[in-house]
């Protein structure tokens, strides 16, 4: 079982995850890229929030103009060693101008939460053992960073060069 963390608190998931062959319920839905592409027009006609779950190999640029109509993009970490979702989140925020929710789902580590946040993630599906205290600590534990990001925080290299 997983829990959802947004704004540093547990929250109810407003989106119903729907399989490619599942019936769409009333309200907000989270669908696969394949279903979004196949049923885009009818999904828009529902006039309810739409989310898409991208697998790690799904480039968010393939969403095209739909990116502006989505309210949630869930990026999958199929295993903690697969970091493509970090790049996809940054592309969504910087290149594609996505302002909706970017949710981390799948197999990521405590140590990755801080950088996920820095590149644009603002929601996390976490396992039951992952507490809010762990989440808060993960966000604040690293004060100096090596990687540039969307948050504008100066990297260690930039700080050293400024001295």
pLDDT tens per residue across span 40-60: 999 999 999 999 999 999 999
Total domains present in the chain: 1
- In terms of Cβ atoms closer than 10 Å to its own Cβ (0-12, 13-18, 19+), residue 110 is middle
- Kindly report, residue by residue over 62-80, the tens digit of the pLDDT: 999 999 999 999 999 998 7
Which segments of the chain does DSSP mark as H helices, in order?
Answer: 33-45, 84-90, 113-119, 132-140, 156-162
Query: Residue 76 is part of which domain span?
Result: 2-162
Quick check: 153 pLDDT over 80?
no
- Here the CATH number for the domain that contains residue 129 is 3.20.20
The upper half-sphere exposure of residue 96, i.e. CA atoms within 13 Å in the direction of its Cβ, equals 25
Query: In the numeric block, which tokens belong to residue 128?
Result: 């039951």
Of 7-16, 46-55, 79-88, 93-102, the poorest mean pLDDT is in 79-88
SS (H, E, C) 57-99: CCCHHHHHHHHHHCCEEEEEECCCCCCHHHHHHHHHHHHCCCC
Q: How many CA atoms lie within 13 A of 26 on its CB side?
A: 0
What predicted TM-score, i.e. pTM, was given to this entire model? Answer: 0.89
pLDDT at 34: 96
């Amino acid at each position: 079982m997983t829990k959802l963390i947004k704004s540093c608190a547990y929250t109810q998931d407003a989106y119903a995850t729907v399989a490619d062959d599942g019936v769409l319920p009333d309200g907000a839905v989270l669908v696969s890229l394949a279903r979004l592409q196949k049923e885009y027009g009818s999904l828009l006609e529902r006039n309810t929030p739409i989310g898409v779950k991208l697998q790690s190999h799904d480039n968010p640029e393939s969403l095209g103009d739909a990116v502006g109509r989505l309210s949630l993009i869930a990026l999958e970490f199929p295993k903690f060693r697969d970091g493509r979702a970090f790049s996809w989140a940054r592309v969504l925020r910087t290149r594609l101008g996505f302002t909706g929710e970017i949710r981390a789902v799948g197999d990521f580590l405590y140590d990755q939460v801080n950088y996920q946040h820095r590149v644009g993630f603002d929601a996390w599906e976490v396992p039951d053992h992952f507490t809010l205290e762990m989440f808060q600590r993960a966000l604040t534990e690293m004060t100096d960073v090596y990687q540039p990001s969307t948050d504008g925080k100066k990297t260690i290299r930039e700080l050293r060069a400024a001295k």
